[in-house]
Amino acid sequence: MDQISLVIILLAALAIPLIMARFKLTLLPTAVVEIIVGVVLGPSLFNVIHSNDTLSMLKDVGVIVLLFLSGLEIDFSLFSRKRNDLTPLEQKQSANAPKYSPVVLAFMSYGAIVIMSVGLAYGLKFTGLFTDVWLGMILFMTISLGIVIAALKEKELLSKPFGQTILLISALGEVVPMIGLTFYASAYSPTAKSLWLLLLILLAAGLLVVRFKTFFKFFDRINKSTTQLDVRLSFFVIVLLVTIAESVGAEGILGAFLAGIVIKLLEPHEETKVRLDSIGYGFFIPIFFIMSGVGLNLRTLLADPKTLILIPIFLIAYLVAKAAIWPILRLRFTTGNAFAGTAMSSTTLTVVLAILQVAQHLHRITAQQSGAFLLAAILTCIIGPITFNRLYRTEAADAKPLNVHFIGTNLLTVPVAQQLTKHGYDIHMYTDQERNYRAFNSEIDVHLLENLVPNDLVESGVFDTDMIVLGQSNSKENYRLAKSAKQYGVPRVIARFEDPNILDERKDTLFKLGVEVFSTPDVQISMLRSLIETPSTLELLTSTEAGVYEVQLRNHKYVDIQIRNLPFIDDITIAQIYREKRFVRPSGDTPLKLNDRILFTSSKQQSAQIRRELGKLN
């Protein structure tokens, strides 16, 4: 019978994402659907899954792996201080930046959540509906980081100020409640030891970070697919910290959460994260969510009038605790987006499940109260994402196109600028030659400058851009301006060098500065050679139907996917992959890696969509 229940759970775990994909059910997080399925298959309805020792053990492992992966999700770069050695351009952008940064907004917002949670917990105690103030406070301040990340990925917001703000609020919504739960469990556990012993687990975590700081550099040299040393290290850290946590009277889930933070600080490869996600979300975590649903006996819960009262009250408390962040988000974002961010931050499930499990082990909460808290949390995961998806609109600051400034207006640069303008780039051209200005100002946006002195270019805002293309024929002038632009802080500078002697003399300096160079003779030689060796090259490059394109793979969805399995592989031809400073000759079996630069050909109509899909920052 034990095996039958496990088979049913694993079949459900397999079927749920397939059915959701088939019917495009994207409004609900997969975790919520798995809990609902657990409720349906459990004693609440069909009663085909029965709890047993094996499933209880797998459920406990599932929550440990879930908290480990939650710790692994935290982006510590959000907490880092700003550099002091800013370039002039960065200083100017910083001065013109909004008053409130994502970090400031996030800490203000979470502070408001904590205050509201304390007030709500005391309010429930005053009414007699739930008397454990500390447990109520911890539950109301939780946020589901995993669900928030999934929603932000879908909207491609992780790199935007709005996404960073909500992400940091959510990270605090996992870290702070976990710390609170640690002290709560230590205070009320019958096996509790002195609180100072909790420092041992922090000391162990610190020692692990120091000891394995260079692990992944060494790992590159010895890794074999049959050893999977990165995964072995991860599970060693999990088991060690869980064991230490339980030995000092804390909960094992704290050790698991710290293990995730330790591995994150070791800066693992993206492939390591993918493998750990595969193990967790492929086996253990679905069992935990489904079994959590099985443990909810709705027949018993809903038969209790007090439970029926508690569910809407707890739901309102979850939502009201997060409502305090709306006026804070409104300080920087639009009214609708502030409301959308508030709704998304109200989602809470994963940490709530862990907290309720600990509280039940400590006998600090009844089954009815636990069920009411869980059902209310599930409802937040329905209300939050739906509200967010309906209300969020792209912020004006995030919709700006890439800004490119051309210095030098001639027959080489103007056609390129015209093509880029058609593809959504914000193009401005500058020249100090009045003849060239008169020749081309009717063709494209050209500005006539008195001179090309760097200080004057800075004052006139010519260097305030994402990219500068120096297209004059004067190589010495391009070199001088390239140096000035990079020193000012322009992210990308592309310079034309027609004189090979000047380029040879200054190549090392240009390389150190990060200046990208080209010359008309080199381009022509390469083109002629390609035309001789591959006659279709010219037709491909000049075709109105097809073109050659490049994209950097940033979409984690396609990491470790073989080229033959790309959903749009029939529409493109991948010619080269540039990976870790070398070219990789692709085949159908070649797996893609994060940050690969992919050179491909496709129709002009499909190229924009494919580049957008592969280049999503998620």
For residue 551, give the CATH number of its domain.
3.30.70.1450
Q: Is the pLDDT of residue 428 over 90?
A: yes
Most confident of 358-367, 417-426, 464-473: 464-473
Q: Is the pLDDT of residue 36 over 70?
A: yes
**Residue 9: band (very low, low, confident or very high) from pLDDT cuts 50, 70, 90:** very high
What angle do helix axes 350-361 and 161-188 make, rounded to 10 degrees? 0
pLDDT at 326: 96
| 473 and 570 fall within a common domain | no
Residue in 293, 324, 374 with CA at minimum distance from that of residue 39: 293
pLDDT at 204: 86
307-to-298, 300, 354, 388, 548 alpha-carbon distances in Å: 10, 10, 20, 29, 63
Q: Is the pLDDT of residue 4 over 60?
A: yes
Least confident of 463-472, 506-515, 576-585: 576-585
- The amino acid at 421: T
| 41 and 86 fall within a common domain | yes
**Residue 531: band (very low, low, confident or very high) from pLDDT cuts 50, 70, 90:** low
Q: Is the pLDDT of residue 118 over 90?
A: yes
Q: Is the pLDDT of residue 271 over 70?
A: yes
Strand order, beta sheet including 597-603: 546-552, 597-603, 573-579, 582-584
pLDDT at 191: 62
Query: How many domains does one find in the chain?
Result: 3
- The reply to whether 224 falls in a domain is no
| 321 and 434 fall within a common domain | no
Q: What is the mean pLDDT of residues 85-113?
A: 83
Higher pLDDT, 253 or 111: 111
513-to-299, 466, 485, 517 alpha-carbon distances in Å: 69, 16, 10, 12
Note whether 61 and 284 are within 8 A (CB).
yes
- The amino acid at 195: L
| 384 and 410 fall within a common domain | no
- Residue whose tokens read 């589901």: 144
At 449, which CATH number? Answer: 3.40.50.720
Q: Where in the sequence is the domain holding 567, given as residue range(s)?
A: 543-614
CA 64 to chain CA mean position, Å: 22
555-577 tens-digit pLDDT: 777 877 778 888 888 888 888 88
| 407 and 384 fall within a common domain | no
Q: Is the pLDDT of residue 544 over 60?
A: no
Nearby residues of 430 by Cβ (< 8 Å), 6 or more positions away: 405, 406, 407, 408, 409, 446, 447, 449, 457, 462
pLDDT at 197: 66
131-185 tens-digit pLDDT: 999 999 999 999 988 788 778 877 778 778 898 899 889 889 988 998 888 888 8
- The amino acid at 65: V
Mean per-residue pLDDT over the chain, rounded: 84
At 26, which CATH number? Answer: 1.20.1530.20
| 74 and 132 fall within a common domain | yes
| 574 and 425 fall within a common domain | no
pLDDT at 540: 55
Last residue of a domain, one of 361, 390, 419: 390
Residue in 70, 65, 73 with CA at minimum distance from that of residue 231: 65
Q: Is the pLDDT of residue 521 over 90?
A: no
Q: Is the pLDDT of residue 592 over 70?
A: yes
**Residue 315: band (very low, low, confident or very high) from pLDDT cuts 50, 70, 90:** very high
pLDDT at 196: 64
| 301 and 446 fall within a common domain | no
Last residue of a domain, one of 390, 425, 454: 390
Nearby residues of 70 by Cβ (< 8 Å), 6 or more positions away: 145, 146, 174, 257, 260, 350, 351
| 181 and 45 fall within a common domain | yes
577-to-390, 534, 535, 556, 592 alpha-carbon distances in Å: 38, 19, 22, 17, 9
pLDDT at 542: 57
Q: Is the pLDDT of residue 533 over 80?
A: no
| 591 and 446 fall within a common domain | no
Higher pLDDT, 391 or 533: 391
Least confident of 319-333, 390-404, 523-537: 523-537
In angstroms, the CA 283 to CA 276 distance is 11
| 521 and 549 fall within a common domain | no
Percentage of the chain modeled with pLDDT above 70: 89
* Beta carbons within 10 angstroms of residue 99's beta carbon: 7
- The reply to whether 255 falls in a domain is no
Q: What is the mean pLDDT of residues 415-433?
A: 87
| 18 and 112 fall within a common domain | yes
**Residue 124: band (very low, low, confident or very high) from pLDDT cuts 50, 70, 90:** very high
Last residue of a domain, one of 390, 424, 450: 390
